[in-house]
Structures are given as structure tokens and as C-alpha cells.
Structure 1
Amino acid sequence: MLCVVRALAVLGGAASVTDVARLAGVDATVTSWALHALVSAGLLTEGHAFRHPVAATAVLDDMPADSRAALHRAAAELLHEAGAPALTVAGQLMSAGDPRADCATEVLVTASDEALAAGDVGTALGCLDLAQRTRTDDPTAARIRARLSRLEWQLKPQVAVRHLRPQLSDFTAGHLDRREVSELVLGLANAGALTELTALLDALRTRAHQGAGSGTEDLRPLTNWAAMAYPLHTGLRKLAQSVAAATPEAAPCHDPWLPSAVTLADDLIRGRDDQLVHRAELLLRTFHLDHGSLWNAEAGALALRALLYAGRPDEVVAWCEKLEAEAVAHHAVAWQGKFLAIRAEAHLRQGDLIRAHDLAARAMALVASQGWGIGLAGVLGCAILAATRSGRLEQAEKYVAQPIPEPVLHSRHGAHYLHARGHYRLATHHPQAALADFLACGRFAETWNAPGADTVSWRTSAAEAWLAQDDQDQAKRLVREQIARLFPGPSRARGLCLRTLAAVSRVTRRPQLLTEAVDMLKDSGDDYELARALIDLSIAFKDTGDQRNARRVAHRAWHLAKQTGAEHLCREAALDPIDPEAEQAAKQRQDGLSALTTQERRIALLAAKGYTNREIAAKLYITASTVEQHLTRVFRKVNVKRRQDLPHFL
């Protein structure tokens, strides 16, 4: 009786008499009698399933560990012979915790694919983890290791690095296919293993010259991408140039995400804004997270950064929120952290310092530092800059103190980290160290040599560092260099330049330059930089004796600085604070806000930021007359007479 009960508990569900008998090693007649007795006793249903799951668990827990494992292995063999689904057989093998069954390798790999297709990534990972412990030939072991590595980079990036060295051996032995080679390149690059990465690509080049070897088909895009990932690495740059001169274009790739990632990275660093935005939009329209390719998330992240650097942070925030939710559904922690970090950077570009910092902190809490690889520099840089700009220098100091591997500073993320650290050093009164960081950012820009604005505004930042050392000539030289590189027309980068240029111009010219800077920064959507320009403009009006305009602009600067989380800027600039009585009156009328409709609130917020009725109408696709009507109702509800008073309530 006991052996029948144990066999039934191991098989689970409503097992057939034949299967229970075979597993228990008991005659079918005896098994049938035992099952009938258990049904009569109320322990089993008519279908031979335990009435209470706890009963089956108690039976299994009562078995010696070795006997239980042996019974699960035997059940796996039995079910496999009977043609049971791979996932069912794999469940027995994982319960055994021992893959010594003859069918283990084939079943576990197949079950992993089935689990992944069903969205059960935990089971897929467990199957592959067990499969790599089976005794099999080297090519099969390499295939299992590659699949396990692919999933771990997505789900457990902090442990995935353990596969890199064995996979290099697999590559040397010729056991990796085309996709696995390309993903090994990505893994080595993300881990900062530059010596191994360069050696691998050089070996691929040798194989290409010999006309044999998997992965050689993608040699050109892989070397290009590696050189763009590490723009300061001379060896990778020279290798990419050599390959480009001697290697034809890559053959069509079965992984669509690799060529997309390479093309986006190339456009991004060469400043091809028109092509870049178009390609990014096309990719994102059909983008979905794909467990079958590590290049998938890389391509998506590059598309999002393309839109971000093109001045479209609102769209980036919306895309990131969507993709974060998808990553959570896929249990893909690495993907979720990546999109959180990009969303944090988008909020930083909008001047929303508190939200940017909180999202960056969430991303770093979600993924351990060793799981970020070179991406740690990007998210850490965002956290440093957000904390610095919001005046939380103690918090920024903790981020700066976090160790960064040397290869990270040679990667494309290094420029963002150095730029952020430079601003922290500038804020803590170390202008020479800050200047060194900003000029180091310039090395990236010189390597890329892209026209237009750089991905980090290193020249205007370096100009600020020179100004902190009272060297106006150097500051003026850098600002003029940057202006000469910009494309015609208003832009965020030009607004930053004009603000800095005002600091080295005559007092009488400053209001004009800063007014232009304010208009450009307002249109860019960067409220933090707009607040800085407004503070400078208020001081410029005051210096020229225009007290009325100085107070008006100071009033606007205070509220915008408060909105962005950077009130300390106004205090440091010694601007006159808002009249306490007027502030109290505004608070008493705060209830009027609850009466505003969504459209009224939207229009009021734009008006408070300084947009004209015509500009608001263009943004919201309504008429200027409609805007005026809405504002009239807003003024009545919140009891103000002028749009300049609106920031009190918003």
C-alpha cells in the first residue's frame, strides 16, 4: 500500500492505474485494489487524485530524500516513454534535483522553450539550470550554456557574468552559432571585459580571412558596434576601421535587433538627427520585448535615447512606462532597470529633479551594481546630477563615492557620468577638478566628431568651470565654439550657450541674451535650465536698474525653481523672496484649484510658464480665443487678475 501511495504522490494529479503500478513496481491488480481502498476511505477522488493537496505533500515529505529523488527520476523516464509533454517530464526532473535520467538533456531544453513560449520564465530558467548539469557532449553543453546565459542576462544580470569565460572557451572550440557569438560580444562589452572582447573580435577577423567559422557573417556590424560602445578604446576603433576597409557588408541577419542596434548607435554618435529620429520611431512602433535575443533590449534602449537626445522627453517617458510594465510581466529585472534609468534621464531633461532622482534610485535598488555592467555609469550619473541640481549634495557625495570600474569610463556611458561628476565637483567648489571632468567629456565628442549639439553639453559646462576660476576668456572661447557647431535655429543647446555667453558679456547686453535664452529653454521643456536662466535674467535686470522687471522675473524664477525641486538656486543667488503676505493670500485661495477642469489646469500651467495665448493654442491644437476664454474662467476660479500670479497656485 505504501509504495502505491508514494508513487501516486510523485505522479500527482489523476494518474492511471498502469502508470502508478509501473512506478510503484507492483502488480496492476494489487495497485487497483489499493487505489480502490483509498477512494473508499475518502483519501482519493474517483479519478485517483488526493482530495487534499496537503496529503500528497505529507507523503512526499515523509520519504527519504534519496528514495524520493529516485522515484521522481523513474517517473520522468516513465512519462517520457508514454509521450507526456516535455514540461510535465521536466517537472519530475526538477523535483528530483538530479538530471541523471537518460532523457534529461533533450527534455529540459525542450521544456525550457515551451515554458518561455508560455511566459513562464522562472520554469524556463530552472530547466536550463538543471540541463547544464547533465552529462552531454561539448556542443550541446555550449548550446545550453548560451541559452542559460541569455535568460540570466535578462532576469539575473548580476550572476550572468559567470558564463563569459566558459563561453569564450566554447567560441574557441567552434561550438557557438552566429547568434551566440553576437550575444557573447554584447555580454563582454557590457561586462567591461575589453581585453577578451578585442581578442574575440580579432579571432573573428582571422576566421573571416580564412573563410570559415560561425559569427564571421556579422563581423563588420559587431566591430562597429563595439567601437561605438567604447569610443575611447583605441584598439577597438582601429579594429573596426580595419574590418570596414577589408570586409564586405554583413549577410542578412536572422536576428533583426542586431542591425537595428548597430544602425541606431552609428546615427546617434554621428549626429544624424533626421535619420535617427525616423529610425527610432519606426522601431518603437513595432517593438516588443523578446526573450530570444539580447540585442532586443539594446536596440530598444538606443531608440529611446535617440528620441531623448532629439528633445522629445515626453515621448520617452510614455514609452518607458509601457516597456517597464511589459518587463515586469516578463519578470525581466534587467529590462525593467534599463527602462527605469532611461525614464529617469528623461525626467532630468525635463527639469523634474525629484522624480529623476527617485527613479534612478529605484533602478539601482532593483538591479545590483554588478548587474549593470557599463550601464551603471549612466544611471549613477543621472542620480548624481539630479541630487546635485536639487541641492542634496550629501546624497550626491554618496553616489560619487561608489566605485566605478575603469573600463566604464571608456564606454559611451562614461561621458554622462563624467559630466554629472563634474557638476557635483563644481557645486562643491572644486572648479579645477570639475573642469578636468568636463574636458574628459570632450574627448568623447572629439572621437565622435558629430555636428550639432553633443549628447552632453560639455563645452558650456566647462565654460562654467572656467568662470568659477575667473577666466572669462576661456569661457567665452568655449561658448563660441559650441555656438559655431550648432545647427541654425532655436534649441535647448543654443539656450544654454546664450545663458553662459551672457555671463561674459557687457552688463547692458545681458538682458537681451538672457531673454533669448529663456525663450529657447522654455520651448525645450527643460524647467531646471529655464529656472537658472530666469534667475540670471532677474539679476541682469536688477544690475541695469530695471527693478520692476527684476521682481517680476524673480517671482517667476522662484516658483519654477520650487516646482523643479531647486529652490536653493534662488537662495544662493540672493533673490528677493516672495512677499509672505501675498504668499499667504495665495494659499487661502488654493481651494480654487480643485474647481479647475483638466483643460483649464493644462492651459493655466502653460500660461504660468510664460507661454502666450497663441503659443498655448498651437501646443494644444485649439484657437487663441478658446485659450482666452479658459484663462478668464481660471482667473475667476482662483481669484487672480493676471497670469503672472498663476504660479502661486500651480
Structure 2
Amino acid sequence: MANAKNLLERTPQIEVLTTHVKRLTTGAGAALAVEGMPGIGKSRLLSEASSIARAMGIQVLSARGTELEREFAYGLVRQLFETHLVSATPEQHDKFLSGPAAQARELFPLGTQWNSSHLDPGSPSPSNGAEVRGDFPLLNGLFWLLVNVCQDSPVLLVADDLHWADEPSLRFFLYLLPRLADIPVSIIFSLRPEGEKAAAAKLLTLLSSDSACHVMRLLPLGVESTRQLIHEFLGVEPDDSFAEACHKATGGNPLWIRELSDAFATEKVSPTIGNLSKVESIGPQAVRKRVKLRLAQLEPASAALAQAAAVLGDGAELNKAAALAGLAAAEGSAAASDLTRTSMVSIDVAGSEHSPRVRFVHPLVRSAIEEALESTDRLAMHERAAILLDEAGAEPERVAAHLLKIPPATINTAHITLRTAAEFAMSRGSPEATRTYLLRCLEEPLSRTDRIDVLTLLGAASHLLELSDAAGYLRKAVDLSEHEEERHHLAAMLAVSLHLQGESEEALRIISDAISDLDSPTSELSLELESFAAMSRITSGNPGDIAECVSRLQDLPETDSRSGKMIDCAIAFGQFYMSDPEAVPHAMRCLSEDVLLSEPAVAHLAAAAWHVLVAADHPQAPAMLDAAVGKAHRFGSITTLAPAYCFRGLSLLWRGFPQEAERDMREAARADELSAHSLGRAATGAYLAEALIEQGNFREAEKVLEWAIPNGTGIRGMEILVSAGRARLLRESGSYGEALTQSLTVGASADAQCCRNPALLPWRSDTALCLHALSRAGEAIEYATEEVELARVWGAPRALGRALRVMGVVSPRSQRLHFLEEAVAILRESSAQLELAKALLDQGSILRSEGYRKDARNSLQDACTLFERCGVSFWGDRANTELVAAGARRRRIAMKGLESLTPSERRVAEFAAKGYSNREIAQRIFVTPKTVEVHLSNAYRKLGVASRRDLPEELR
């Protein structure tokens, strides 16, 4: 264990670290952020945590973010695992990267020299305008790699200087956070305060603000600790005033105190009151001054090696640093030995098969050495480093890191290396690094064709980062293009980006211009543009005549090509808005063969079709959405995973399982947080809020609705769903007047958007319930009647049953039971269990009020059973209150039998019955083994069986 006694004023922090590490022995992990200014002792505490963990038999995987490597896709994650994998036997290597972990194998090739085979052969090239490959397969693969590694013993991930980490690695940590409670893995990472964070501030903030992450902020040392450190370094007790002056000069920063003390020792300054003036002159730049002084005292070869290693970055291979410094191998080894005596670097022989690595004692030391170089010398060294690494067969990203440091047109082949690095980053799902390399590539001399290719890929990468940037790059590409077909393809990409950022009118103008330029109105490209135009009109909030739009699309020739499926999707969504049930077959056709889901650029169209099928209560929708989530994990990006989770959650919600729906919606929300698209965020937020309202969690629902459209009214396009959610929340909270105003605003917007389908926006029934609560019965009946008529046209049982239930609540006394009986009859034949329970609750309440207490008890007991099955105690309490009022005892239900299983429990049980292990099931449904264990335990209890051997019989 590290010498903790020298960690002054850090006893409480060490206790926190110890508790954090000990938690791993219970099988559950967590995250801890150690935040503080440079030199405050973050690295020292992380080292202490590593020692504590190793003493407990816990595996430690460590990494450190560096300035030079922040553009390397998954660079920090690779550091975490590489040493472990390099030291593994081939059998262990295969074991760790087995199952879904194989998706991460490309990050850890067995050979160490890069070659083009490391690129995914299926990855798109810049010239075809394809979108950056999704990163979720790698995230899922890395997660299972970690699960495989922790089978031997718990794992502590230690990541120092996370503020310099690459963004894909940060996304992996974000992916990991909600899963830590279920696996024996904990994270400890260090970062600087908000003002010191790098460009990835959004991701770092999401990490440190996550509920699974505890933040420990390090404060400067006090005067007494400053005195103790000076005494320890100098061997002399300092005067009080001298110690106070040192504390003021260093701000209580341990690194500054150490460097200041070292300067005193070198210059033979005694810590007395007579030397106070020297404290101020030495103090503020102690580290940089000391580094320059040490360099000046070194032999020329040693100084050159230090500078070369600083340019190459922390952890540079010694042989490459020596070559960059112009030293032979023997000279390099001698210089390395000399350097270690300065306490600036250490030579690490572990973790490399070819050469020891040069490690700096602190990032500030490395940066100070590099800054000590004259600017012309520094540029020349980065140029030589790029050439040296390229000739040595280094990964293109390592070469590109140095190209980013030198002026354009310095190396003739720089644009080729930068393009290759961008493709490499793309193959690893890193749009951030792709964008960085391509922006630099644009500064090189390029042909018109190359410039168009680079701008096109820049647009594709920015599509996942910042849509306004994507549109800007694509505009430039369109302006440069001289070929009609290429220009129209680029226009289509530009229109999609504009549409997704809410600029539907401009998107429509661009598409219309492109269509009018095309010679053939029935070509693939023309049909695709027509579908984009239609979807933009429908979802823009100002669609015009949807019936005319749909009719125009129906006149186009039918094809089984991608364009045909896109046309089918636009028809389906238009008919969905108009409450036309013919939307369903069109939605099924457009989703056939997964053509749309296979291409991220049109994945939002698949989401529209899912919306149609879920709203239609289509029996195949749950299985299709299960498959979509799986495919998004294996091949997709944020743009495919977020809607897949959102609409699978919606399917669960409308079938009556809000708790399970919430889990999916939160996964969608995490993906939406990282997305540049606003459309998905609105739908996710609206439906997540609905799931929370069903569980009676009104306060959290309010937060989610604010997240969905911060500081916005939410009355255009899909944002109207958020406004409808706010109306419902107000009504459920008892604010009927405000809810009525909000609901009528939603209705006016829905009418303007030609949206008449109550399965999408049941604003009429919401309005009717508000009016009923405000004793405005006549108006309530009008709105409820209109919704019933529209729901009968659409024909989906859930929407019609809900409309009839509301009609029963607001109708005159003589008609209430008639409508409620019809609602119950329709919903009993549907999958909408929660809506059926509500209809039974309303039926029982009215039967009780009419004096039919026995019949009331029957309905209310059924309602209680269903509410229990759906897991909504909020509604179950209401039903029990009515049941007691009807003369029965409060119902306590222990759910039993096959029908009592939730969808997730049944799915897990079915896999277990087929002989799959918990681990195999978890890999198939993208959850943790612990989650499978919980579902299986619940299934055993509800089915009354002791083991999986009994499941096949019970599941028949």
C-alpha cells in the first residue's frame, strides 16, 4: 500500500476511497470522481486507491489521459485494457474477447503494428457520403469485455486526467455508469474543475453529475501542512512567516510546494524570515523554472531525449524517442538512465513488447519540457515525429496527432494520412476525431474532388455531433459539385440535416429544387427526395393538406427498393396523422427486410413506422422492436439506438408496464443526450414523462418534460407530444384550469398540423376530463364524443377503449355504464392491460355509486389484480380505496401464474427454458447478468417453480 501517512489532510478522502473500493467485494460497483486543480494531489490519491484495491485482491486497470492523444478513438479505453490483454495467454485473450466482447476485438489486434486490415472492411469511405459508423457495437463489446475480465475477480478502473480523454472513451464510461450497480466493477477518475475542462465538457459534466457518480473535491493544504512539507523536503523547520509566505505563493498546492522547496534546496535558500522576498520571485512559476534549469544541467543527449519524449507524448517508446532525438540505441539507453536521476521521468518496462516507455512524473512536467523548445524547433520535431511514426508503421491517428501540430502544406502526403486517420476513427465510431482530422485536412492543398469528399464525410460526422455544422459542410460540398447526380445526393443529405434540426421549410425548398432538376421523376433518387419532402411536411408543424400529400405519394410507382420503402413510410405516417388504418400495411412494408434500419441516414423513418405500429396495437410490434434494439446494439449509432429504445419503451408502456417502459426510455434518453437531433428528444421525453405519471412520480415527470424541451413552448412537430404531457401532468396533479388551457393549446396546434388521430394525441379526451372536473358537462361530452368517433375510425383497441372509458366518465348518469361496459369488452381482447384496469376501476366506482356493490367489487377486484400485474401501486391504491368503499377488504395480491409475468420476465424465462445460461441471456437481450438473475427469480416465484428445469412445462 502507498505511504498514506505522507498524504497530509487527506485522511477523510482515503476513507472515502477505501469504502468505495470495499464496496466491490459485495459485487456492486460505483463511480467516484476526484476533482481538483493541477498539482493538488489527484494522481497521488488514485495511486493510493490502486494500492488499496490490490491489497484486497482486486484487479486494477489504469489509464491516463494525455493532451496529445485526446483525438485517438477509444485511446483511454485501450490503455485500460491493453496491458491486461498483452500479458494474457492466447487462450485468455480469446476468452476475454469471446461472445459480444468480440465486437471490441478490432481495438486490440494481436499485432502491434497498424495496417489497413485494422479498418473495418464494411466501413464507409469518404467518397460515398455514408454516415459515420455507429459506436454502440463497440460500447457493448467493451462492456462485455469488462464483464469477462471481472469473472476472475472484481475490477477497479482508474482513469487519471479524464479531462484529456478522447470522447469515445468518455461515452464508454457514460454507457457503463448505469450498469455498475449490477457488476463488480468500480471507476475512480480524476479531472480538473469545470473551468479547466477540455472541449468534451458536456460529456464530463454528464459523467460527474450522474446519480451513480460521487464527486470528491480536493481542497488546498493549509499553512501547517505546507510547513510540514517544507520541513520534509529541506530537513529544516521553516519560520512561521516563511511557511505562510510559501502557502500564499503556492496556494497550498502540494506540487508547487515540492517544486518550490526543491528550488530552495538547489539555490541553498534557508527557510527563514530573511528570505521572504525569494519566495515570491521563485514561487509562481516553480515547475517551469525548475524544468528549464534541470534541462540546462543535463548532457545534450539527455536533454534531447527528454524533449523528444515530450513531443511524442507521455508513454512514448524509448527507441522512438531516441530516434527522434537523433540518438543511437545505446546513446538513448544511457540518456534515459541520466534522465531518471532528475526525477522528471521514469522508464516503464511493463506494457510494451518492443521498447520501454518514457513516463513523466506529471503532465505539467511534460508540457513544460515541450514549451521550453523554441517554436520553430517544436514544429520541426512534430514534423519529424510524423515522418518517423509513419515510416515505422504506426497507427494513422498517432501520425495525425503530430500533423495537427504543424502548419498545412508542410508534408506532401499529409492529406492522405489525415483522410486515413479519419477513416480509422470512423471505423471505431468516433465522429469527433473524424471531424478533427478532416477539418485539418481541408487546410491542405486538395483537388476539387477530394475537397468534396472531405466535406461530405465532415457532414456525415457532424450529423452525429452538431447538425448546424453538418448543414454548413454539406452546403459547401453542394456548391463545389459539378455532377448532377452527386449534387442531388448531397442535397438530400443536407435536407435531412436541416429537417432534423427543425429547419423544415428550408429542407423542403432544397428538396423541391432538387426534384425539379431531375430528368426522371421516378428514379430512385427522385423517389427518395419525394419521401423526405413528405416527412418534412408532416412533422414540421405546418404540413398543409396531408391528404393531398399522401395521395401524391400513392400515385408514385411501387417498388421494393429503399426508395419504395421510404415512400411507404411517408404514406404510413401521413395516414397515421389522419387516423386512417391503411397506415398499418404501409408501415409493415417499409420495415420489411430491415432496409431502413440498416442505414443511419434514414433510420428516423424506421422510427416513424414503429410509432404507427405501436399506436395500432400491432401484435408484431414488440418482437420487431426487440429485434431493432438488438440490431442497433450490434451495428447502430445514436440515431438508431435512441428511437429503438424509445418505441420499445412506448410499446411496453401502452401494453401496461410503465416500470419496464421507464428503463427503456431512460436508455433512449441517455442516447439522446449525446445526439445532435432534437426530434427524438421530444418523443423520448414525452413518453418517459407518461411512464412516470402512470407510476405517480409527478415531480420527476416535470423534470423530464423540462429536459425534453428546455425553455420552449413545444407546439411544433413532435414537440407537441411534450405539450400534451404537460397538460396531462397538470390534470393528474389536480390543476384542472391550467390543464384545460394547455390541452386546448395542444388541440389548436394539432388541428393546424392536420393531426386527428387520438392514438397519437388524445387531447380531446384530456380536455373532456378537465371540463368534467370543472362541472362543464355539455362541453366535456362534445370533446369525448368526437374522440370516440375518431378512435373507431383508427380501430386500435387501446385508443378506442380509452376514448370509451372517458366517454363513460363524462356522460350523463344513465349512459355511463353503457360506454364503460363497451370499453371493458374491447380492452379485454387487447394487450392494453393498464388501460383495461383503469376502465374496470371507473366501472367499479360507478357501479358502487349506483348501489350495485357486489358487481362493483367484482370489477374493482379485477382492477386491483391488473394494477398489481402492471406494477403500478399508484393506481392500485386508488382501486383499493374504492374496493373498501364497496364493502370489501383491502386486496393484497401475490401474483401467480404465467399471466403474472412481465414481458421482460417472460422473455428471460423463455430463454432459460431453452437452456441458455444467465450470462448468455444477458448477452442476447443487452442487460447485465444480475438483471437476468432478478427477472428469473421473479419468474420462479410467480410460476411456483424451483429451477429452470421446471420452466418448459410452465411456459407451454
In the superposition, the TM-score normalised over structure 1's length comes to 0.70
Identity of aligned residues (%): 16
Give 2:405's aligned amino acid.
Answer: D
Instruction: Tell me how far 1:106 sits from its aligned partner.
Output: 2.7
Give 2:829's match in structure 1, choosing from 497, 515, 523: 523
Aligned residue in 1 for 2:260? none
Deviation at 1:398, TM superposition (A): 3.5
Question: Given that residues 76 and 93 in structure 1 are in contact (C-alpha distance below 8 angstroms), is that contact kept between their aligned partners in structure 2?
Answer: yes
Q: Tell me the secondary structure at the aligned position of residue 882 of structure 2.
A: coil
Which amino acid in the other structure matches residue 232 of structure 1?
N
CA distance in 2, matches of 1:228, 1:488: 18
The code of the aligned residue for 2:778 comes to D
Would you say 1:514 and 2:825 are equivalent positions? no
1:56 and 1:206, CA in 2 relative to 1: closer, same or farther beyond 3 A? Answer: farther
Shift of 1:31: 4.4
Deviation at 1:495, TM superposition (A): 1.4
Residues 543-581 of structure 1 show CA distances to partners (whole Å, capped at 9, x for unaligned) of 332211212222232343354425257539951349999
Structure 2 match to 1:97: 404
Residue 897 of structure 2 is matched in structure 1 by 601
Q: 1:219/1:314 Cα in 2 relative to 1: closer, same or farther (>3 Å)?
A: closer
Instruction: Determine which of 492, 510, 516 is the counterpart of 1:200.
Output: 510
Superposed displacement of residue 189, structure 1: 1.5
**Match for residue 376 of structure 1 among 681, 686, 696:** 681
Deviation at 1:449, TM superposition (A): 6.2
Bigger mean CA offset, 217-226 vs 365-374: 365-374
Distance 1:94 1:215 in 2: 39
* Contact 1:105–1:131 (CA under 8 A) maintained in structure 2: yes
1:183 aligns with 2:489: no
Write the mapping of 1:481-560 to structure 2, written as runs, cut at 5 A.
481-485=786-790, 486-487=792-793, 491-505=797-811, 507=813, 509-560=815-866
Q: Matches of 2:442 and 2:744 in 1, distance apart?
A: 48
Q: Give the structure 2 partner of residue 565 of structure 1.
A: 872
Q: Single out whichever of 420-429 and 507-516 deviates more from structure 2.
A: 507-516
Q: Report SS of the residue matched to 1:98.
A: coil
Deviations 1:60-116 (A, max 9, x none): 879626556644433444666x6x87x834421224533633322233223333443
- SS of match in other structure, 1:575: helix
Structure scoring higher RCO (CA < 8 A, sep ≥ 6) equals 2
1:423-472 deviation per Cα after TM superposition (whole angstroms, max 9, x unaligned): 12322444455345445555576577689764222333333233233333
Query: Does residue 692 of structure 2 align to residue 387 of structure 1?
Result: yes
Deviations 1:39-78 (A, max 9, x none): 9999999x99314575999998796265566444334446
Please list, as runs of the form range in 1=range in 2, the aligned pairs for 1:249-648 lying within 5 A after superposition. 262=570, 264-266=572-574, 268-269=576-577, 271=580, 272-284=582-594, 289-290=598-599, 293-295=600-602, 297-312=603-618, 315-316=621-622, 319-320=624-625, 323-324=628-629, 327=632, 332-368=637-673, 371-401=676-706, 403=709, 409-411=715-717, 413-442=718-747, 454-485=759-790, 486-487=792-793, 491-505=797-811, 507=813, 509-562=815-868, 563-565=870-872, 567-568=874-875, 570-571=877-878, 575-577=882-884, 601-603=897-899
Q: Gaps (5+ residues) in structure 2?
A: 1-300, 339-346, 903-939, 946-956
Q: In 2, are the aligned partners of 1:491 and 1:521 still within 8 Å (CA)? A: yes
Distance (Å, rounded) in 2 between the aligned partners of 1:43 and 1:537: 75
Kept after mapping to 1: 8 A contact 2:827/2:833 = yes
Change (3 A) 1:583 1:53: farther
Paired with 1:75 and 1:254, the residues of 2 have a C-alpha distance of: 47
1:64 alignment partner in structure 2: 370
Alignment partners' CA distance in 1, 2:667 and 2:632: 15
- The one-letter amino acid paired with 1:105 is H
Following superposition, the deviation at residue 133 of structure 1 comes to 5.1
Quick one: distance in 2 between partners of 1:221 and 1:320?
Answer: 23
Separation in 2 of the partners of 1:146 and 1:326? Answer: 26
Q: Which moved more, 1:571-580 or 1:101-110?
A: 571-580
Conserved? CA contact 1:558–1:567, under 8 Å: no
Matched residue, 2:171: none
Give me the whole-angstrom Cα distance separating, in 1, the residues matched to 2:721 and 2:469. 28
Provide closer, same or farther for how the CA distance between residues 490 and 343 of structure 1 changes in structure 2, counting only shifts above 3 A: closer
- Listed one character per residue, the Cα deviations across residues 167-194 of structure 1 (whole Å, up to 9, x for unaligned) are 4455455587433322221221221234
Counterpart AA for 1:74: R
Aligned with 2:715: secondary structure?
helix
Letter in 2 for 1:557: A
Deviation at 1:311, TM superposition (A): 0.8
Which amino acid letter does the alignment assign opposite residue 64 of structure 1? E
Is the Cα contact below 8 Å between 1:77 and 1:102 reproduced in 2? no
Aligned residue type for 2:437: C
Change (3 A) 1:497 1:260: closer
Partner of 2:297: none
Shift of 1:533: 0.7
Q: Say which SS state the counterpart of residue 567 (structure 1) adopts.
A: helix
The 1-side partners of 2:519 and 2:852 are apart by 73
Equivalent of residue 88 in structure 1, options 388, 395, 399: 395
* Whole-Å separation in 2 of the counterparts to 1:48 and 1:483: 73
Tell me, in whole angstroms, the C-alpha distance in 2 between the residues paired with 1:7 and 1:369.
37
Among 225, 241, 248, which residue is 2:535 paired with?
A: 225
Query: Per the alignment, in what secondary structure is the counterpart of residue 576 of structure 1?
Result: helix
CA distance in 2, matches of 1:251, 1:538: 52
2:419 is aligned to: 109
2:541, 2:753 within 8 Å by CA — same for their partners in 1? yes
Deviation at 1:416, TM superposition (A): 2.1
- Report the CA distance shift for 1:573/1:174 in structure 2 as closer, same or farther (over 3 A): farther
TM-score, normalising length: structure 2: 0.50
Greater percentage in strand: 2
| Partners of 1:145 and 1:163 within 8 A in 2 | no
Cα distance in 2 for residues equivalent to 1:91 and 1:492: 57
Per the TM alignment, residue 227 of structure 1 is displaced from its structure 2 partner at its CA by 0.6
Could you tell me how far apart the structure 1 residues matched to 2:749 and 2:880 are? 33
Q: 1:581 to 1:445 in 2, by over 3 A?
A: closer
Return the offset for 1:341. 2.6
AA of the residue aligned to 2:395: T
Displacement of 1:308: 1.1
- 1:242, 1:491 → 2: CA distance? 25
Unaligned runs of 5+ in 1: 594-599, 607-632, 639-650
The amino acid across from 1:178 in the alignment is H
Q: Aligned partner of 2:460: which letter?
A: R
C-alpha separation in 2, matches of 1:490 and 1:242: 21
Change (3 A) 1:373 1:488: closer
Are the counterparts in 1 of residues 456 and 473 from structure 2 also a CA contact under 8 Å?
no
